[in-house]
Amino acid sequence: MEKIDGRKLKKDVQQALRDQVVRLRKQGKANKDVAEYLAMNPQQCSRIWQKYERGGKKEILLGRRGRRHGEKRSLTEEQERGVRKLIVDKTPDQLKFPFALWTRGAVRQLIERHCGTDMPIRTVGEYLKRWGFTP
């Protein structure tokens, strides 16, 4: 039987599999047998069971996955607002840059001067896209 990639399953299906692992283990089935029956990796079955034994049902409940909005960004929200305001209100030559128009390179230098953060040109383009500017 082919193993299931649990990462690609919907959250409710993942939770149902976890519940089945616990139910079968409570019936006295071995990890190997449970894993084979559910087409799962035996180590994953073992991890689920150990979590259940440690903290009960609440320990095997699925949490929110992925990064939270705005988490792990190079610039804080305040810095983003400041840079956006400068781009909208000023031209590069008004800020003593050797450019006439805002380009990704010019915005990169602005961010470095204004925030003290050196970031790749690609990241600058992603910020510009997020802010509604064309990179």
**The pLDDT value given to residue 4:** 76
Q: Give the per-residue pLDDT at 63.
A: 80
- Using one digit for the tens of pLDDT, what is the confidence trace for 21-34? 999 999 999 989 99
Query: 62-71, pLDDT tens digit by residue?
Result: 887 777 777 7
pLDDT reading at 73 higher than 80 = yes
pLDDT band at 1 (very low <50, low <70, confident <90, very high): low
**Which amino acid is located at 2 in the chain?**
E
Which residue ranges make up each domain of the chain? 6-60, 77-131
Q: Give the list of residues 6+ apart from residue 106 with CB closer than 8 angstroms, or none.
A: 92, 97, 99
Check residue 9 and give its pLDDT: 87
Tokens 């039987």 — which residue?
1
Q: What is the pLDDT of residues 33-62, one digit of tens each?
A: 999 999 999 999 999 999 999 999 888 888
Average pLDDT over residues 72-79: 89
Q: Six-digit token pair at 132? A: 């509604």
DSSP for 16-45? HHHHHHHHHHHTT--HHHHHHHHT--HHHH
Mean pLDDT of the chain: 90
State the alpha helices, DSSP H only, in 1-135: 11-26, 31-38, 42-55, 77-89, 104-115, 121-131
